[in-house]
Amino acid sequence: MPADLNDYFNKGNKGSGGNGGGGDKPNRPQRPKRETPKFLNEFGKKTGLLYTLMGLIALLVIAKPFVVINSGEVGIKATAGKYEKDPLRPGLHLFMPFVQQVMIVDTKVRSINYTGSVGHDMSSSTGRRSSMSGAGGVMNVPSISALDARGLLISIDITVQYRLKSDTAPQTIATYGTSWEEKIVNPIVRDVVRNVVGSYKAENLPLKRNEIVAEIRIGIEKQINAKSGQPVELRTVNLREIILPAKIVEQIERVQIAKQEGDRVQLEVLRAKQEAEKKAALAQGDADARKIRAQGQADAVKIEADANAYANVEISKSLTPDILTLKQIEVQGQFNQALSVNKNAQIFLTPGGSTPNIWVDSKSRQEKISTQN
């Protein structure tokens, strides 16, 4: 108990007994003084400090004078409503509550899908983080409607990927707010697509697909870079589908069918031509082969003739007068021998020749007739 209460009870006991109490009550024994425990006295002294500490903790929890910025994000600090020029990079940052605020902005790659399968989904930001697209930084918005060079209505499905530049993020948010995608990217994409598609005829759009994508990308980059601070970096542009009017589709199909038929006929003509060339080549090859064989035979005959002529020349060189005389003697001997055997032998002499050619017939013409009969 506190010290003042002990004194009160002690005084009360003194006044009620002995001579001071009128003498009508007996004297009671005096109670000993009760002292307050030491830990209670110390607790009482530190209660104020504890309350102060608890208040500070509660204030920190409520005010939260720090912020953690993750990779792929930047922080934009505002002091008394004015954005600071330099963004806060990933990490832990302190600020003064109630005087300063930090907005966290996503700087990762984001996408807008222009497609006819979904409705408008340009959600605005809520809370302290500026996250204005669907899950994963992807927005699905309606297809882009455009008129071709003849005024026909075309729908374009396209996907555009981009990211907010970190260095100029404070300036971008200060100028366009947290809905910067709706104010920068979406209008530019729709305007550029309509301008590019408007310079082509509908039936030529599928044929010029790559050329159209290149023109759209160049146009988007040009308009974004023309903005103050070049707030957005364009990453990719993908033209997914060109939705043409039904009449144009039918016309293209007819053209494709005619073209395929023409290609088929040309292929058949080409095959027939190749077959004819093949046959002509085979015939030419056969003729060349026969010519080569004939030429070979002629060359062989010529070689043989040349050899005989050469042999005759060589033989003629070896025929001396003595050899010719000897040959005449031999022929004369054969002539004499033939006459001795057959009196009817007929002898034919080669005109101008040195050696007669002898043909021996054992019977006369009369004898042959009589024999045949």
In a domain, 93, yes or no: no
pTM confidence score: 0.54
132 and 213 belong to one structural domain: yes
In a domain, 120, yes or no: yes
288 and 352 belong to one structural domain: no
Can you give the pLDDT at residue 148?
92
In a domain, 52, yes or no: yes
What is the domain count for the chain? 4
135 and 261 belong to one structural domain: no
286 and 356 belong to one structural domain: no
Give the pLDDT confidence of 264-321 residue by residue, as tens digits.
888 888 888 888 888 888 888 888 888 888 888 888 888 888 888 877 777 777 767 7
In a domain, 288, yes or no: yes
250 and 262 belong to one structural domain: yes
**CATH number, domain with residue 165:** 3.30.479.30
In a domain, 70, yes or no: no
- Domain stop point among 243, 278, 296: 243
- Provide the domain limits for residue 281: 245-318
310 and 347 belong to one structural domain: no
Average pLDDT over residues 71-88: 91
Residue pair 213/219 in contact by the 8 Å Cβ criterion: no
- Domain stop point among 243, 277, 310: 243
Average pLDDT over residues 66-78: 91
Can you give the pLDDT at residue 318?
72
Locate all alpha helices (DSSP H) within the chain, ordered by sequence. 3-15, 38-63, 169-176, 180, 186-197, 209-225, 246-318, 321-341, 365-372
Residues 6+ apart with CB under 8 A from 19: none
